[in-house]
Structure 1
Amino acid sequence: MTTDDELVARAREACDRAYAPYSGYDVGAALRTRDGTVFRGCNVEMVTFTNTIHAESGALGAAVAAGHREFDAVAVSSAERDGVTPCGLCRQTLAELCDDDLRVLCDVGDGIEEWTLGELLPGAMSGDEVPTDEDSE
């Protein structure tokens, strides 16, 4: 299985492929499934920003498209190696398919700062808050 250091290295590789001409802030992510498969994503900015793809969302989408739904850890890196954590949108996106104990590994250049998703997003919104057609019957 990929070590934490290797997972951060994969996030750095993804960061090198980012397309961020407007913010200039390249981000890469590497998401590891419970069976050890790793999926990468990078930010892809659009001039409107509203349909920008975030690195973590890209990695999660690739994993789901490949049939994976159980995750162990995600590593996030920016070109600055500044310990970037997933933004609020990405935290909520991860919370949709990942447990609170998902390990979030943040690249601080000469080491790794580690959180759990639950620490970064306590009280995440869940499907329980969203009314369904069954609720109206």
Structure 2
Amino acid sequence: MSHTKIGLKNGLTPEIEKQLGEFASLAKTYSYSPYSKFRVGAALLAESGNVFLGCNVENASYGGAICAERTAVVKAVSSGEKKYLAIAITSDQNDFISPCGFCRQFMVEFGKKLIVLLVTAEGKVKKFTLEELLPLSFGPDNLENRNDL
């Protein structure tokens, strides 16, 4: 399953947030993590209602690995979607996991107001904006007013 669509007529409701957590859990099942054994899944909700799934994909050279969050964003962008409402992220742990710094920087390219749902394996949720997770970030807004580009 590369992506699915959900209705957004009532906005980002608790029911939709729960669905995103479930989609992230599904995405986690596709993880390729033979080295760390640390499966991560992400479900990225675009403004259109399309949901893009991502999982972590490891590589023997370690640096060639890609996180679940970036996988979901790359799938969305390569499908023509660049405006997002929320992303749910989960692992097999009962603790909350948070996007790494590289993923935070990668996602801020598409908006600081992105809702980030951290979901435990048990289904507990913590909700943040990307701006809360990456305060004082550097992004497109920092470049728009530059005259020397």
TM (normalized to structure 1)?
Answer: 0.90
* Of 1, 6, 17, the match for 2:30: 17
What stretches of structure 1 move > 2 A for 4+ residues in a row? none
Structure 2 partner of 1:105: 117
Instruction: State the one-letter code of the partner of 1:71.
Output: Y
Shift in Å at residue 81 of structure 1?
Answer: 3.9
| Structure 2 residue 21 is the aligned partner of structure 1 residue 43 | no
The whole-number CA distance in structure 2 between the counterparts of 1:32 and 1:44 is 20
- Out of 47, 54, 57, the residue aligned to residue 70 of structure 2 is 57
1:28 is aligned to 2:41: yes
Distance 1:81 1:20 in 2: 18
Distance 1:27 1:110 in 2: 14
1:135 aligns with 2:148: yes
Cα RMSD (Å): 1.8
Q: C-alpha displacement at 1:50, in angstroms?
A: 0.7
Structure 1 residues 62-71 or 81-90, which shifts more?
Answer: 81-90
**Unpaired stretches in structure 2, ≥5 consecutive residues:** 1-6, 9-15
Q: Percent same amino acid at aligned positions?
A: 36
Name stretches of at least 5 consecutive residues in structure 1 with no aligned partner: none
Question: Structure 1 pair 110/11, CA: closer, same or farther in 2 (3 Å)?
Answer: closer
**Cα deviation code 1:53-97 (max 9, x no counterpart):** 110000000000110111000000002242111111000000011
1:111 CA displacement: 1.8
Q: 1:66 to 1:81 in 2, by over 3 A?
A: farther
More displaced, 20-29 or 76-85?
A: 76-85
Cα contact 1:16–1:79 (8 A) shared by 2: no
Task: Using the TM superposition, give the Cα deviation of residue 106 of structure 1 relative to its aligned residue in structure 2, in angstroms.
Answer: 0.6
Q: For 1:16 and 1:63, locate their aligned partners in 2 and report how far apart those are by CA, in whole Å.
A: 19
Report the residue type matching 1:88 in the other structure.
Answer: G
Describe how 1:74-89 pairs up with structure 2 within 5 A.
74-89=87-102
